[in-house]
Amino acid sequence: MSHTNLALVAVAVLFGLGGCATPEAGIGGTDYAPQYDFGEFYAVTNGRTFRVEVSGNPFPDMTQQEMERRLLPVMQANKPQSNLTFTYAKPAEELRPDYRLVLVFDAANDLTAARVCANQIRHKPARTRPFDLFAVYCRNDLALSQSTAWTPATSPEDPRVGDLFSHLFMVVFNPFKRPEPRPFPFIRPW
């Protein structure tokens, strides 16, 4: 069994034990670029800030700013395996490489991770679920990993949101996933 499959089995077990595996809540549609490497993520985030971009608002009864302010500590409390600090602050200068997590609420059904990383975000015309999320980990315009998540949560402080982020971060920032090896590393392409 590959590392990816082991990680997905571990996440499935966590969902079963945590009570998240209900028809109303879940994580699905996970994918990794061949270049994805948890070691790279850890190296660029450990002891540093890590930027999050948010598009959309799953709680229409509050402003975008209030939702983001209240959501940030929930994400921080459920952060992935790195000593990182989430931030919404954009750097003064353009970073290269530009690592970031993009959270798109109510993403259009045909929105791809590549378009998210290229900042070509579109939303559904009407909400289908209260908390419907498309999460993409980007390096510049390359989508390194992606997943979807949903829950019937009614506020950022709803325990289901923290539970969802805890599981989602384990999938998007999968510590068991490494870059796929080249089939013949000793042969140079001509």
Evaluate if pTM is beyond 0.85.
Answer: no
CA distance 79 to 56: 21
In-domain check, residue 111: yes
Residue 122 is encoded by which pair of tokens? 């579109």
Structural domain harbouring 139 = 3-172
More confident residue, 187 or 53: 53
User: Which candidate, 150, 142, 188, 189, places its Cα nearest to that of 168?
Assistant: 150
CA distance 63 to 46: 31
**pLDDT value for 128:** 75
Contacts of 159 (CB under 8 A, 6+ apart): none
In-domain check, residue 178: no
pLDDT one-digit tens code per residue, 78-119: 999 899 999 999 988 887 899 999 999 999 999 999 999 999
In-domain check, residue 188: no
pLDDT one-digit tens code per residue, 24-78: 779 998 999 999 999 999 999 999 999 999 999 999 899 999 999 999 999 999 9
pLDDT tier at 188 (50, 70, 90 boundaries)? low
Per-residue pLDDT averaged across 132-146, rounded? 97
Amino acid at 91: P
In-domain check, residue 16: yes
**pLDDT value for 163:** 96
pLDDT tier at 23 (50, 70, 90 boundaries)? low
Task: Say how many domains are in the chain.
Answer: 1
**pLDDT value for 126:** 80
List the beta strands (DSSP E) in 92-141: 99-105, 131-139
In-domain check, residue 184: no
In-domain check, residue 180: no
In-domain check, residue 88: yes
Question: Over 50: is that where the pLDDT of 133 sits?
Answer: yes
In-domain check, residue 15: yes
Residue 50 is encoded by which pair of tokens? 């890590």
